[in-house]
Structures are given as C-alpha cells and as structure tokens.
A and B are shown apart, each in its own frame.
Chain A
Amino acid sequence: MSNSHNQESSYLDYKGRFKGIFAWIFSTDHKRIALLYLYSIATFFIVGALLGLAMKLELIAPGKTIMEAKTYNGVFTLHGITMIFLIVIPGLPAVFGNFLLPIMIGAKDVSFPRLNLLSWWVYIFGAAVAISSQFLGNGPPDTGWTFYAPYSFRTTTNMLPAVLGAFILGFSSILTGLNFIVTIHRMRAPGMSWLKMPLFPWALYGTAWIQLLATPIVGITLLMIVAERTLHIGFFDPTLGGDPVLYQHLFWIYSHPAVYIMILPAMGVISEILPTFARKPIFGYKAIVVSTLLIAFIGYFVWGHHMFTAGMSGTAQFAFSFLTFLVAIPSAIKVFNWIATLYKGSIQLKTPFYWAVSFLFVFMIGGLSGLVLGSLATNVHVHDTAFVVAHFHFIVFGGVGYAFFAALHYWFPKIYGKMYDEGWANTGWVIFFMGFLILYLPMFVLGIMGMPRRYFDYVDEFSRLNIVSSLGAILMIFGLIVIILNLVRSARYGKTAMANPWGGPTLEWQISSPPALENFNEIPVVSKDPYDFSNVKLG
C-alpha cells in the first residue's frame, strides 16, 4: 500500500456508501463517531455555558436583575441537565475515547462499531427528549438536575421528558462503556500486555466499569419517578408511604460514581500529555494504574457524603465520611506522580502543556476543597451552599473542562491534520484561566459565609463577592470565545500538521495525521513500554 494512497483515504476524506452528512451520521468508523460527538457536545456546551452566564448575570445584584425566579429555576435546572448528562458524562470517553482508544491499543476499530454508532443516535435521541421538556405544555422543569423527591412529584412543570431524557442518555453511556471494555479485552495489539497499555485507555477502562455498574441504578430510579408521577405507585413520596431519603441514596449511588466517570478520563488525558511535553516517562506508571482502579472501586461506596444533613443514621455518616477520606488518597497519589513526572524533564511550553498544568492547579483546589466536604462537621456548615457549587465546578469544569481543552489542543493535529494557531490558543487560555478563578474562587468564601445554593435572590452581605464572581463569568466567556473561534478557524485554515508534532511516544503518533480509515495498514506489534521515548522521532 503506497503512502500517497494512504493520504487519500484519510478518515476525513473517505467516501463510503453515503454522501454528504449521511457519510457521517451513518458511519461506523470510530473516528467519525468521535467527531459527531464532538460537534454535538460542543453545541450543547455553548448552550450550557450561556445558561451559566445568564445565572451569573442574574446574581450580579440582589433581587431581580434580568429574569424571574421561575425562569432562574428553570435555567439552573437546564444548565445542570445539559452540563452533566449531555456534556461531562459522555464528554471525554465519547469524543477522545472513541477517537483514540482503538488507535492507542493498536486496533482498527472498537469491538462493536455498529453499537458505537447506535450509542450516538441514542445520545441524540435522549438529548432531544430532554430538551423537549423546555418547549412542552407546562413550562421548563424546575427541580434542579438532582430531581429530588418529593418536589419532583409536586412540581407541575414538564418533569417527564427531562427524566426520560436522562434515562435514555444512560443507555448511551452504558453502550459506550460496554463497547470499550470488550475492545480493551479483545483488541489490544499483539504484545500489548495490560501493563504496556497507555494510561488514557486504562482510565477509560476504569470509567467504563463505573458506567456499566452505576448507570443502571440511576436508570431504574428515574423510571421509578416516572412510575410514581404517572401511575401513582408509591416509591418515594411520603404521602404514599415512601421515603424521600431513599431516593437520595439511589440517586447518589449513581451520581457520586458519575463524578469519577467524569474525572477518571480527565486524569488519563493529563497522564498522556505530561510525559510527552516533559519528554520522559510518567512517574510511577503502576501506581497510577492501581490508583485509577482504586478510585473506580472506592468511589462506589462514598455516595453518602452528599447526604450528611439528610437525616442518615450516625453510623452511616461515620462510615461514609471515613470512606470519603480514603478515596482522597489515590487522587493525591496521582497529583504527586504528575508533579514528579516534570522533575528533570525537558519541558516544551506548548498550549496543551499549559492546559495540563492549569488542570493540576485547579484540580488541587477542587480536590483539597473536597476534604472540607468529606469531613462531617465542616460538611454540615457548607452543604448546599455556594461552597459546594464552587468545589463541584473546580472538579467538573476545572477538571473535566481543562482536560477536555488540553486533549483538544493536544490531539487537534491528529484529528484534523492541521495545527491550531498557538498565539491565539495561549491568549484564550490565559483569559479563560483568569476568568475561571475570578468566577469560582469567591464562591468558596460565599459558601463559608453561608450563602445557600440555587438562590435566585440573596441578602445584601453576599453582594460584593457575587459581583466579582459575575464579572469573572463574563471574562471566562470571552476566553471561551477566543479558544473556540481559534480552533474552528484552524481546523479549516491551519497549517498542515506532521504525524508526530509533539514527539509523543504512544501509538497514535506513529500513524499519519489525520489517520487513515482503518488506522493501521498492519496491526503493530508492541514490545516497548507505553512511555518509552528512546526511539521517538519528532515530525
């Protein structure tokens, strides 16, 4: 097979049975599916970010500023649902997992390509159902993304489409996870033993297990809400004998591990980027693998720390707080390992590296502030306040968002075969980073002062910090605009990228940019460790 032929049949130019957009939305190629996810997620992300901005503008001053309380409640609910179920949960696995997992383990595709395409269709269908809740009869749902009982039975708004949408999205998540597990088990290239697998696939493996084992629980819980609202079967409504706290148990049995569904792949991305730009192996590969699996496992049993004020038994509170502190350890190990990876490296200061390092910084703040929430006494004071919102955004937006942008810049040349404009990329990063800190840091203080979350209006003593926070939001949105415009422009007009612009050691850098339809002409035989830089060539 000649090289020129190879160039022609890059996955972007491939002509299959269908033409135009159908060549994409009916393609079973994992790379095209990854881009389908990227574009859908980016669209939802812009909507979600604007909703977030609207909330911050409302909170810039006490009282009504730009919207009614009813609208505000609908806005934070929709912001939560889109951001959680449509963006951060599928985010990294569906976009970068799909694109890179097969390539990084030396396979031509995932195990079940058609199932993979089905996942995307289910995702779009679920998103459509969830979003339809905004436009039907009784107005947008106003329960928050947690759908707590019994309020979710009492509100007259369109709960059902929102809940069903989340249920359907769960299916998509499960199918992706299932596909990844089988792919990793069955399709690793010859010679790639488990401990020769790069860390991003490892992270996806841990994530996939959580997706598989936690999502059904929230699925059935959401179905119970549907049954309770439509058929009046008593599950959680106290007037029918139910226990609203049990709803919280079931909800968090999923939704706490869901945080690890979000953050594990982000950690995987960082574990890829740091070695490449430090030009040395990741520090303590095995420790990172083990901590990935430990986080996935222990993370399953700490859900109760969302419920320390809900009225659980003292024993349960004790146990959950203890387990929560345990799960901090593997995350701490990872941070130490990442920092140690830079020691005696030869660091190239490129955009993905900036994103990765700022990830480290915000992740440390997010993780350390989590200690306040894991501890019983302090949790009670800051639970359900702006502190939780700040912590959560540092982990989920700070963690996943930064990792997403890091990944986007890092693998951009591989995905599009073009380079982004570095000057604009760095400018966008600086503005975004500043805006992010100005937006969320004051919320920690507001929370400790006692400002409850999901408040449309607040007492005067909170107003100063809220102004700062809202101005930060505006700045951050500017940063986002710069970043996104730069990437969109570069995908079309950027300079042609080399196969391996960063000198990355993993398999995806050993094939052309953009990859050919089936990734590899011949399945590679792996004999090296994943982060062995001895024979890596730039270019």
Chain B
Amino acid sequence: MSTVAVHRDDVGSKIGMWLFIFTELLLFGGLFIVYAVYRYKNPVAFHLAGEELDVTVGTLNTVILLISSATVAMSISAVQYGNKRATLSYLLITILLALFFMINKYFEWSGKFGHGMYPGSEKLTELGQGEVLFFGLYFAMTGLHALHIIIGVTILLIMLVRIMNNKINKTYFVQLENSGLYWHLVDIIWIFLFPLFYLIS
C-alpha cells in the first residue's frame, strides 16, 4: 500500500512562479504598449509633463528598490548557508526599504494631489490631451506598481514568520526563493518605469 505522500516538487513550483511572473510582466506590458503609442503620438506633451516629476525622488526610490532586491537575494544565500539570523536580517532590511519606498511614494502622490493633479481633476483636464494621457498613465502604472509592492511586502512578512518558525530552512526554502522572484519582478518593472516617467523629458 502506498501512503499518500505529500507531493513536493521544488523545481516545479519555481517553474510555476516564473510562469506567474511572465503573466505579471505582460500585464504591465499592456500598459507599456499604451505608453509607447501615446508617447509616440504626443512627444512634446510627454516631454513637458515629464518635467513636472521630481527626478531626485525617483532616483532615491530606484536606489531603494535596487538595494532591497539585493538584500532579498542575499537572504536566500543566507538560508542556504543555514544562517537563520542573517536570513532574517536581510529580509527585514528588504521590508524596511520597501516601506521607505512607499513613504516616498505617498509624499510624491499627495504632493501631486495637493496641486490638484489627480485623475479626472479639473486642473488636469485643463492641460492638453497629451498631459492628461501622461498623468493618467503615470497614476495607473505607478499605482499598479505600488499595489504590487504592497502585495510583495505582505508576502515577505509571511516569509519572515515562516523563517522564524523554521518552516523555511536550509533544506526547504523554495517559498523564500519564489517570494524573492516576485520582489525582483517589482524591481524590474520599476527599472523601466523610472526612466520612462522621470527621466525622458
């Protein structure tokens, strides 16, 4: 009699995670297509609208995300070495950096809202159509990205708890790897969002 063994396939679940990441990439891909087309049709308006965004804040956030991406990768090395403390610290740094990113984002958005720039606002509609499209895309894309950060932080927090409970350990860490993959995805998307909105002006 064969007992119903718990089916475990780490490689399989990693492939599954990658496939999920593909769908996420294409989800943003749809928005990138829209961005590309409207930028092509309204080059001047996009240029001018891009100047309204603060490059310093954007750069800071880029660096924050890059570091957080590196630390989450390091936490995986740490778990492979069997160093629980290091794993936890790297993960904690990642989460703190993500929160820092969100705080930055909050001030950036509320600044825009304070100036009466939000989707459907009168000030926005008074600007040209190109500007309306630019800010529409800006809010949609960075908003969707921020949503992914929130989901990512939640997942990383769950990982933190699971490492503390030794559910994730030297021999079983595919969940941490997958969470890491998700976090890098968030990073990659930002790597493109940053120049497209803040730099090309």
Interface residues of A (CB under 8 A from B): 1, 108-109, 111-113, 115, 174, 177-179, 181-182, 185-187, 212-217, 219-221, 224, 227, 231-235, 240-243, 246, 249-250, 253, 518, 521
Contact = CB atoms under 8 A, between A and B. Distances in A.
A182 B140 contact: no
Given A174-B23, A224-B34, A233-B119, A216 B29 contact: yes
A216 B26 contact: yes
Contact of A185 (B1, B7, B15, B30): B15
Contact of A111 (B9, B28, B128, B130): B9
Given A111-B12, A250-B33, A178 B20 contact: yes
Interface string B32-46: 011001100110000
Contact of A213 (B2, B26, B129): B26
A242 B133 contact: yes
B114 interface: no
A243 B37 contact: yes
Given A234-B129, A235-B136, A518-B4, A181 B19 contact: yes
Given A212-B22, A231-B120, A235-B136, A182 B15 contact: yes
Contacts of B60: none
Contact of B30 (A1, A111, A227, A250): A250
A178 B16 contact: yes
Among B9, B16, B20, chain A packs the most CB atoms within 10 A around the CB of B16
A231 B4 CA distance: 51
Given A227-B140, A231-B119, A240-B129, A215 B12 contact: no
Contact of B139 (A179, A233, A250): A233
Contact of A216 (B23, B129, B130): B23
A470 to B, nearest CB: 40
A185 B37 contact: no
Contacts of A182: 12-13, 15-16, 19
Nearest to B125: A240
B9 A186 contact: yes
Main secondary structure of the interface of B (DSSP, over half): helix
Interface of B: 1-2, 4, 7, 9, 11-13, 15-16, 19-20, 22-31, 33-34, 37-38, 41-42, 119-120, 125, 128-130, 132-133, 136, 139-140
Contact of A234 (B13, B25, B132): B132
A108 B4 CA distance: 10
Given A220-B27, A220-B30, A246-B37, A240 B136 contact: yes
A217 B30 contact: yes
| Smallest CB-CB A-B distances: 7 pairs | A241-B129, A232-B120, A220-B30, A233-B136, A216-B26, A216-B27, A186-B12
A342 to B, nearest CB: 38
A243 B130 CA distance: 11
Given A178-B19, A215-B23, A233-B120, A241 B12 contact: no
Contacts of A181: 15, 19
Nearest to A246: B37
A115 B34 CA distance: 32
A224 B119 contact: no
A177 to B, nearest CB: 8
Contact of A243 (B13, B24, B41, B128): B41
7 contacts: A178-B19, A186-B9, A186-B11, A216-B24, A224-B30, A241-B133, A518-B4
A108 B38 CA distance: 50
Given A182-B12, A185-B12, A250 B34 contact: yes
A71 B191 CA distance: 49
B30 A234 contact: no
Contacts of B15: 181-182, 185-186
Nearest to A219: B27
Name the residue in A220, A221, A231 with the highest tally of chain B Cβ atoms < 10 Å from its Cβ: A220
A235 B34 contact: yes
B133 A234 contact: yes
Contacts of B31: 220, 224
Nearest to B28: A220
A307 to B, nearest CB: 14
A240 B30 contact: no
Contacts of B128: 241
A220 B139 CA distance: 14
A521 B26 CA distance: 41
A243 B129 CA distance: 11
B74 to A, nearest CB: 28
A182 B42 CA distance: 43
B30 A216 contact: yes
Nearest to A240: B132
A249 B28 CA distance: 16
Nearest to A231: B119
A220 B132 CA distance: 19
B130 A233 contact: no
Nearest to A186: B12
Contacts of A112: 13, 16
A212 B130 CA distance: 32
Given A111-B16, A112-B16, A216-B30, A241 B23 contact: no
Contacts of A216: 23-27, 29-30
Given A212-B23, A241-B42, A518-B4, 5 more contacts: A186-B9, A213-B23, A216-B29, A224-B34, A246-B37
